Structure 1
């Protein structure tokens, strides 16, 4: 390990080796679109963006999961397979540094979901016990599928369901989304039906609604 790594880095990589993982390295500079597609535009203000000579939007890696999974797909590696990583990630934050280390395991392709979930909890507990010796640890479980089912049952527009689902597991993000939902910004430029279709993200129905209005007004 180089001097840039934390002192406990060697112990972390040894733990990963004991837990039957394949250590991977990920390029620091990554395509930005996969991160924005998965995490939404809210992430844009928290990552460091740049542009290539060809106009492609790039960013300093804000986390490891997406690039590790993309590399797995590109390599056409078989599953089940477990990857481990340790390295710097870069995010703009209101408090603390913008560069910090992230360590983790991506456990891919095990058809026994319950066993994979239990193994992931055991991996996380082992890692935290290593870096926080003597500290009492507690585990809180949640189910995003159940949360998304509740959102669907509420009949919320698709755009709001997606935003709330992305906030699952983060109390600050969820509180901010609920505050916006309780007091939606007013936009006098959109009629009621159009505003509803925009919030729902139904591009096909929105196009049909606009086309009908144009035809009624005699516009080509």
Structure 2
């Protein structure tokens, strides 16, 4: 009722008052027009909970209007120890909602396999249907599955991708694994295990 009357706005996961959502949108537009630095603003502002909606609106507006600046801003925020975890969560949530290009994934890939606090959330991104193809460019999944330092984490994310069941093409994915990498000490280390190979054909196989 309230949503149909325009009092509330939101989606299945987030609901808020329309005037608050609109205010945050206007704030984001005004903020970016001034050319102010997003990182410095957040780091010096106290980072209270109401900054979450403003951060989301700023990033979504940037993603739609200036993709290069969006990538630069996102990577700086994720890398910063001055930005609190609840805002890092907002950033990765925004990333999950956007269709990604290979350049988008390349910008955040270092966080996925590092030891930073945002690594776990960043590592989940390539398993999402909207981001799998972007992360998969240049045979990256095969590289992660073949490298000792990334194979275990990559295989866990590959299982999640397999559960989604489809690539962006809408066909059954080639990447559904049939076996896990062997545990260390049982028939060889996981580093020696090779993941599923992508077919030579450019057409995704159907099942």
**TM-score using structure 1 length:** 0.24
**Bigger Rg, which one:** 1
Larger relative CO (CA 8 A, sep 6+): 1 or 2? 1
Structure with the largest fraction of helix? 2
**TM-score using structure 2 length:** 0.25
Structure with the largest fraction of strand? 1
